[in-house]
Structure 1
Amino acid sequence: MTTTAPFGRALCAMITPFSADGALDLDGAQRLADHLVSRGCDGLVLSGTTGESPTTSDAEKAALVEAVREAVGDRASIVTGVGTSDTRHTVKLALEAEKAGADGVLVVSPYYSRPPQDALEEHFRTVADASGLPVVLYDIPGRTGTRIEPGTMLRLAEHPRIVAVKDCSYDFLGAQKVLARTELAYYAGCDEHNLALYAVGGAGYVSTVANVVPAQLRFVLDAFDSGDTATAAGAQQRATPLIESMMAAGLPGTVTAKALLNELGLPAGPVRAPLRPASRETVDGLLAAYEDLTAG
């Protein structure tokens, strides 16, 4: 079982701020990054699902890394998403991320083409061989259509630059099997699993909800580390209504996170099509859940 956290414990899957006309807002990204790090985030994961990576260009992805690195310096790690459905393109993005100053790359399973496990393994190895950056495998079969099976994880763990997993598999047993047999750092990619995975040896979380309540989620891990497991469990439970509102109410976390950030006066801006903004009714419900968690 691993106890290492190569990118820190409390990581935020940061949204990508856009200006009103939909352009990349680098100043906003810097201000949001500083805000998140100053409130307890050890690391920031850019250009992931929450960062709307399917709708940002290669140049925008690199510029985002450079801007956020300038803003946070060495106060936090930066991991950036480079996964695409094309191995050659993914390698290109990994090399650009390295030049831009990232500390690691997040590599999702190639989507749509649904490669078999041997092809999936070769894809990840090819990306890991291409640059000097450590690799976080992103297992989210609900979006990609392809699971990184535990057996494949065990083989990939032998690669010296494959160091971590962002786990959105919803297979808690599978995650524990890999944890028990490898040194891979497992990060919860689903906020409802933040404490549960940490309690069985996970490294921490990569959280969408941390965009709006970074300190409250960090407190869960801090309480657990101090030995006060009851307080940790209580804090996780108190966050559950907001987690449900943001992540399980029928809208992508990107939409709900940006809706809340805009209401709170923090950099966010619109989502890019085909996503659409949350309705006023939805925003009011999100605000109520946020205020219940943060009151007092």
Structure 2
Amino acid sequence: MPTELVLPPGFVPEDPPDPPVTPRDSATVMLVRDAEAGIEVFLLRRVRGMAFAGGMTVFPGGSVDPRDADTSVAWHGPEPAWWGRRFGVDPALARALVCAAVRETFEESGVLLAGPDATGVVSDTRPYHEARRQLVERETSLAQFLADAGLVLRADLLRPWANWVTPEAERRRFDTRFFLAAVPDGQRADGATTEAAEAGWYRPTDALDDWKQGRRGLLPPTWTTLAELEECGSLADAMHRDRTITKLMPRVVRDGDVLRLLVNGEPGYDSAANHLDARPDDRLERR
């Protein structure tokens, strides 16, 4: 983690819950595309005042809905067992995570990773505007929407990327699986969601520069993922990377007047078991 990357004031409570809150399973999707200046990713700036990550720049995503586990979803691509092996979960949860990734992406960006069959992909999502609203309002499920529209979920359009768990010191915790997906030809990401104050396409380099200049707030998982995408020369490069998924469970430590995160394997991680009460190690003190 870079020296400048600290948690926003008030993001972590002074009195962490004891015992820690059980994290909710969730999915987030980095939508990417090729552009003249290089790979671009779709980002949302969350509305200020939201209970979690208000004002921060994020990728589309959200919590798993119980109905995401519906086994009647018409499915093409790697089976749930394959996704389960990649994320270290059972096939039932893996199915729900993939469905949540597709549903949340459609709800928050208007991009639909589905098609009429195993070889086709929706090129115009405007006919599904009402269905999108119904999904947001929980008036219908992803399985019902796809069945009514005669569509197949295209799991083969997604790639597993990472797994981050919110630190135990926080009151709202998520066990988030990160996916990568290319925007299908003809579709347009619009960010028309009440959860976002603005949305758009950015080169990872530009988004990180905005953060350095104080124009954009990034949580550590988003910062790290953008830095990883920055290393990808093209959409094809990103989509074909064979990544080993390690569950990253950051711990919070004090560094002077600010709070930082340490991730698995970093010096001081093991000694930070008590989180906010843990003393920074020598590496932090040298900063």
Report the TM-score when normalising by structure 2.
Answer: 0.27
**Greater length-normalized contact order (CA 8 Å, ≥ 6 residues apart):** 2
Name the larger-Rg structure: 2
Higher helix share: 1
Higher strand share: 2
